[in-house]
Structure 1
Amino acid sequence: MPNPSNRPNILFFFPDQLRFDWIGSNPDIAVRTPNLDRLEKNGATFSKTVCPAPVCAPSRACVAAGTEYDNCPVKGNSDDYPTDRATVYSMLRDSGYHTLGCGKFDLNKGTCTSNLPAWGLDGKRHLNEWGFSDGINNEGKIDGANSGREKPQGPYLQYLEERGLRQIHLNDFANRKGQRSTFATPLPDDAYCDNWIGQNGRDLIQSVPEGKPWFIQVNFNGPHLPLDITESMAKLYEGVDFPQPNRNDQLTPDELLEARRNYSAMVENIDHQVGLYLDLLEERGELDNTLIVFSSDHGEMLGDHNSWGKGKPLHPSASVPLVISGPGVQQGITHDLPTTNLDLTATFLDYADLDIPDDMDSRSLRNLLEGNTSTHRDIVLSGLGNWRMAYDGRYKYIEGFGDTSMLFDLDTDPLENNNIIDDPGVSAHIERLKAELI
């Protein structure tokens, strides 16, 4: 039921590994996302958004803490978020929000990859320490398959076990050999992990105590690889063409096309789940008082530059979609300013009428969203391991990645094929961007 507070509910979709350009509003890609299109029409789209660190655990930890990668306690997928450190979730909960979450959080990724108990069969291990009132933290695709060979270690494999599907799922994953494995999973649609996650989140919303504002983060496992899709999803893009990757000689054109079709099917399936949430909010009378955010922890190379996955400072890996709609947000606006989804942390606190801690690097987008300003950041940052990147919306400077520093002009070279670091006349851009990394 609607809460009597003026503070909005917050619905945060945070899928795993969805690149910035693989959404329906991009006319160059045939993927269909009608529900995300609806959010864009009713809200604001940020077309030049990076993540603070293009790999799962650090990126999600940066958002939880509101800090840039250099100030984040999680530096890689072998680290756990300190359970004694505050999160945006604990701040919201302490202020009266009913904080919920479902899907793959990866805030204890180090434990998830160490064969130690990580999630609990009910998915509630560490949720209280992270600041959640309730939720279900489930295994990622690979972590679940690796940890659940002998018996389930987390809630999704436990769910499959109870339905007699765990071994079928494990056999399917064992047969997948990289990006060439585009065959459909034998799992039924309702047992497919993203659909299960989506239902869990909607059930959690229905459990909110009457009169309390709520926050929920929905962490879909997709469209992270492997390219597993159901039989019905496999039909979505039969015969649909997609552009070939930029600079890829690893697979045949047909293999690359099939990989992109499967990736698109995972994206459209997530979009369908988004639509089910919008339907639920309408039924509950909460759509007009809910801030809705759609982004991703990082992108996916998807074959570009002979690469798959993430971890690189290049745009397909480090750039993500960002769409925000809700009360007071200007509608149908596209912002071309450089943005980082790190700024969601402060934005959530701002909409909850909370002070933003001085030690946070995150900056609220609220004034920009509501049309009270046309400025935000001039330069945004990303980093991982030894490399750092600074991006001003046109020029991208990278150091520590490869044998030489890099400078790309995304206006003239959107595919990042030409390093202009040694070109005449670019020294001022290098100095300006490099200064942000010091």
Structure 2
Amino acid sequence: MPQSLRLTLAATAGLLFLALIGATGVGVDVPAPGQVVHSSATSRLAADDVPNVLVFLTDDMRKDDLSYLPNVRNLLAKQGMTFTQAQSPHPLCCPARAELMTGQYAQNNGVHHNSGKYGGWQAFDPSSTIATWAQDAGYATALHGKHLNHFDPDAPADDGWTNFDILLEPATDYENFTFFDGDSYSDDYVTTRLDERTVSDIDTWAGRRPFMIWANHVAPHIWFPASAKGDGDGDRGGRNPPAESTYAQAFTGLTPKAFSAPSFNEADMRDKESIVRGRAKLKPSALKRLNLARIRSLLSVDEAVAHAVAALETSGELDNTYIVFTSDNGYAVGEHRYTGKDRLSDEILDIPLVVRGPGISAGTRSDRPVSLVDLTTTLAQLMSLTPTLTTDGETFAPTLRDPAVPGYRDTMLIQTGAKEPSARFPGWAYRGVLSQRYAYGRRINNGPTDGFLYDHHKDPYELKNLLTNERYSAVRRELERRYRELADCAGSECNRDFGPLPQPGK
């Protein structure tokens, strides 16, 4: 592994950030939720002062996996801001990526699942995304790696991308893979190639024009070799991800962090929602192997981060670049007897989110609840873009400058989709809301008691489902009301301060 670089931000970078967000103090000139603001200061910026953006997106990475990635910790977290309460509000590959491209929830962007009538690339409209907004503003843009499932290889490149460099399916084969431009590799390693192609764009565009690069890595997703049956929609039938040879022996004997959680192989599942209530306990030995393979695959992404930072420093662009590291969703490794994603439990909703860039103080942390939908709105503001659709996110640009700046929203919409078109609410499975204290959701095509309500103040591991507990009936009713208010929200409607929740009864 290359030696970690220890870099510091230039003192003048903070001035750029202040100009970009047009804010001089807490609560001053903060835009309304979902709104992108363009100040006169921003419009007068010289072309070479426009910030670059580099996004690293992993696939199925847990928040606690960050502790194993030294380059991300040293080069990004120690030099930028870590968000401790970042969420993937629709925790599945395609819906999460569609949120990131549009800044919209699935009820507005149309992508509810990975496949089916309401899923995959076929449900996605690429005509207005952060790529088209950036390209319209003069940015060079690149999308490397994973895209939405079921992309038609005969289709033209999606709008907005100067370099549309996606992996063709199966996009979860680490060793044998093909890019959109026809480059094909056998007995290779996909992270290495994505690393090279990302650095190549940095070298090409640095100093010439502002750029926005998305490096969508495969790791640590389950491995579906090209020879495997199925389309890779889920995790069943896949293999543990292979490690690059450099990291094949790393962390031998590692015990998953999930094993220490009371929710691991939860003892009593009788209060859980119907779809998981009868699940058998999982084998720790198999989960230990899975976890180790996942971490080893992420070490190559960690190395790619170091290479990109070095390329930015060499080119003189580091201090003028926002670098984001995050994941499309979290992942369960045996919590509640479950392995995978696409459920609304804490370890699946939680994602890593680290941002380094101009005006962000080194080594800062924020416990403000933010989401992938918010990230798109925030980047659009920092880049002074003009979205051609209504984004649903709440910008957290002021918090990047000052971690004490809170958000306005107190309740976040969370949901999962379905492939089946015949249900009462077609395209939906679980829908609900998340607040600072509670997680609430229900399977909306089933009865009102098929769901969950957890009090995170008293039960952070979500062991006791309070959905039918009479003491929490007023809380449940209010959370259901908030869900109904947010279910079809768009724009600023999605970011509301509902006020205090009722206290549980005695």
What's the counterpart of residue 136 of structure 2? Answer: 94
- Amino acid across the alignment from 1:58: P
What's the counterpart of residue 196 of structure 2? Answer: 199
The reply on whether 1:238 has 2:252 as its aligned counterpart is yes
Candidates 318, 332, 336, aligned match of 2:367: 336
What's the counterpart of residue 215 of structure 1? Answer: 212
1:379, distance to aligned residue in structure 2 (A)? 1.8
Secondary structure in 1 matching 2:336: helix
Candidates 32, 36, 49, aligned match of 1:6: 49
RMSD across aligned positions (CA):
2.7
d(CA) in 1 for partners of 2:180, 2:163: 14
Candidates 96, 101, 108, aligned match of 1:71: 108
Secondary structure in 1 matching 2:114: coil
d(CA) in 2 for partners of 1:157, 1:317: 34
- Amino acid across the alignment from 1:367: P
d(CA) in 2 for partners of 1:395, 1:153: 44
Secondary structure in 2 matching 1:323: strand
**What is the TM-score when the length of structure 2 is the normalising length?**
0.70
- Amino acid across the alignment from 2:129: T
CA distance 1:368–1:272, change in 2 (3 Å):
same
1:423, distance to aligned residue in structure 2 (A)? 3.0
Deviations 1:40-79, CA, capped at 9 Å, x for gaps: 2222211112113111111111111111122222121123
Say whether the 8 Å CA contact 2:128–2:388 is kept in structure 1: no
1:358, distance to aligned residue in structure 2 (A)? 6.8
d(CA) in 2 for partners of 1:287, 1:156: 28
d(CA) in 2 for partners of 1:40, 1:428: 40
1:391, distance to aligned residue in structure 2 (A)? 0.9
Judge which range, 221-230 or 245-254, deviates more. 245-254
Identity rate, percent: 25
- Report how many aligned residue pairs link the two structures: 385
d(CA) in 2 for partners of 1:144, 1:404: 37
Say whether the 8 Å CA contact 1:382–1:388 is kept in structure 2: yes
Secondary structure in 2 matching 1:426: helix
d(CA) in 1 for partners of 2:102, 2:430: 21
Deviations 1:10-65, CA, capped at 9 Å, x for gaps: 011111111222211xxxxxx34342343122222111121131111111111111
Runs of 5+ consecutive residues of structure 2 not aligned to the other structure: 1-45, 224-239, 267-279, 418-428, 485-506
Judge which range, 279-288 or 364-373, deviates more. 364-373
Say whether the 8 Å CA contact 2:321–2:358 is kept in structure 1: yes
What pairs up with 1:318-337 in 2 under 5 angstroms?
318-337=349-368
d(CA) in 2 for partners of 1:154, 1:61: 20
What's the counterpart of residue 450 of structure 2? Answer: 404
- Amino acid across the alignment from 2:464: N
d(CA) in 2 for partners of 1:9, 1:204: 12
d(CA) in 2 for partners of 1:135, 1:155: 7
CA distance 1:213–1:158, change in 2 (3 Å):
closer
What's the counterpart of residue 247 of structure 1? Answer: 265
Say whether the 8 Å CA contact 1:4–1:211 is kept in structure 2: no
- Amino acid across the alignment from 1:325: R
d(CA) in 2 for partners of 1:234, 1:68: 39
1:241, distance to aligned residue in structure 2 (A)? 3.0
CA distance 1:433–1:39, change in 2 (3 Å):
farther
Say whether the 8 Å CA contact 1:395–1:408 is kept in structure 2: yes
d(CA) in 1 for partners of 2:362, 2:214: 23
- Amino acid across the alignment from 2:211: W
What pairs up with 1:117-196 in 2 under 5 angstroms?
117-118=152-153, 126-127=156-157, 129-139=158-168, 154=179, 159-161=184-186, 165=187, 191-196=188-193
d(CA) in 2 for partners of 1:362, 1:43: 22
CA distance 1:346–1:257, change in 2 (3 Å):
same
What's the counterpart of residue 377 of structure 1? Answer: 409
- Amino acid across the alignment from 2:411: I
Say whether the 8 Å CA contact 1:244–1:257 is kept in structure 2: no
What's the counterpart of residue 331 of structure 2? Answer: 300
Deviations 1:142-194, CA, capped at 9 Å, x for gaps: 66599x8xxx7645995324xxx3xxxxxxxxxxxxxxxxxxxxxxxxx2111
The reply on whether 1:350 has 2:396 as its aligned counterpart is no
Say whether the 8 Å CA contact 1:144–1:154 is kept in structure 2: no
1:268, distance to aligned residue in structure 2 (A)? 2.4
- Amino acid across the alignment from 1:348: L
Judge which range, 406-415 or 425-434, deviates more. 425-434
Q: State which structure, 1 or 2, has the greater radius of gyration over its C-alpha atoms.
A: 2
**What is the TM-score when the length of structure 1 is the normalising length?**
0.80
Deviations 1:308-347, CA, capped at 9 Å, x for gaps: 2211111222221111111012332222122111111111
- Amino acid across the alignment from 2:412: V
CA distance 1:424–1:237, change in 2 (3 Å):
same
CA distance 1:244–1:13, change in 2 (3 Å):
closer
The reply on whether 1:40 has 2:77 as its aligned counterpart is yes
Say whether the 8 Å CA contact 1:338–1:391 is kept in structure 2: no
1:363, distance to aligned residue in structure 2 (A)? 2.1
d(CA) in 2 for partners of 1:298, 1:5: 34
CA distance 1:195–1:235, change in 2 (3 Å):
same
Secondary structure in 2 matching 1:295: strand
Secondary structure in 1 matching 2:215: strand
